[in-house]
Structure 1
């Protein structure tokens, strides 16, 4: 893959879970939102309150603050600085997170973005923020060290789009201008946090449009992952849940060995061990 020599085609995608052990507030939120500042977004529309996964209570989300147009260049620059810092820390490259309701996704999706400036309205305008970040990061550390993750079909945290096929295809084509190393897209069958579902849509048009390495993620197993590679629908396949439950997943796939079953109930719990580092290796 570019200048990188990979030993297999199995990828661990970005994952997240809670970090407040035993209900003790973590110190990092005070860094993320200093002085109680509201989170920034493309909009000031609040999220609908949601019931927690354990049905204990209802989560009330802090209303976001709509970024002013003149503030956006500084945010783009923050991504550039973050990429430079990652390289100085010894990383091989960076993956820009433009998926699953995070900030970049909030600009791209018309269910969220209700702006009337050059970053809202048309598809081109809504993708402007993402592409400015790609350009800034690629110029800073080199396009051959940059990837981006996108989920045009996903509707995480009310971040859906009315035409995800057009969105995904536009981004795939536009990324070619910057010559980045890879594009990592989430399959249409993974629209929510739940298990995969049937979908008439496909990432194949995006695969054909993007000229770099193409990664896919979303509900894959050993057999359909191999099939995706064999049929040239992807260059690499990412496995989140299976990798979480099987720390030696590449070895298990190689041997066609049995897999540990993941426990969804422990995906977003605060325990530092259970469901996180307690899954056994083959030799265990």
Structure 2
């Protein structure tokens, strides 16, 4: 399994997961030219993308969707509520409606919808699995509900939202209504909330934690790393950036490698085993 963050943050989100010749994108929240540029730097061919899955209709998740999907004729999977909220003139032959908890096969991959709390019409997160390895993309979480906890317990790779530092948010320039929206149970997880749900539900199965969807105004990479690193013994830790792609990671049964052509360092972890996907999710 290969995976990377192409963009992550309130200014745009896009995530890539692949196995063999089968690749999917979760959201296309930056414009098509930037998606292509970042893919090229990571060694990814945009023509390899077999499907796009959209979590919800907010602009930072769909900004580049229409142009990218039309250019490469990529099928789009999204809930009817997300489609209605997006109000994009998407080509009808590319649109496939799903339920928030559907399971969709894309070649060797299965993409599972995970219903969540967020201030959108019919949102869901996604887990991408090949039946053995589970790569979970969990952002825009109003709260660490039972679905979120279950996903963490069964993840090999977890990209988890850690959106804001509470003190920075409360003392910052955002208007009162926006501060309440963000922290009111239908917006985003704070660093403290993300840490709590992570620590309480992580298992020995987890190999790689990536923190994502950081606020540009109410968080910093350094702060997030300092909060989580003491709790990641034996787990590779990364922070997805707002302005650039992550390395392209490769997860095999016994190691994680950085395989991006522009990053030559390599991170390797050794494990006892990778367990099979839990059918109860």
The TM-score with structure 2 as length reference comes to 0.38
Structure with max Cα Rg? 1
Higher strand share: 2
Higher helix share: 1
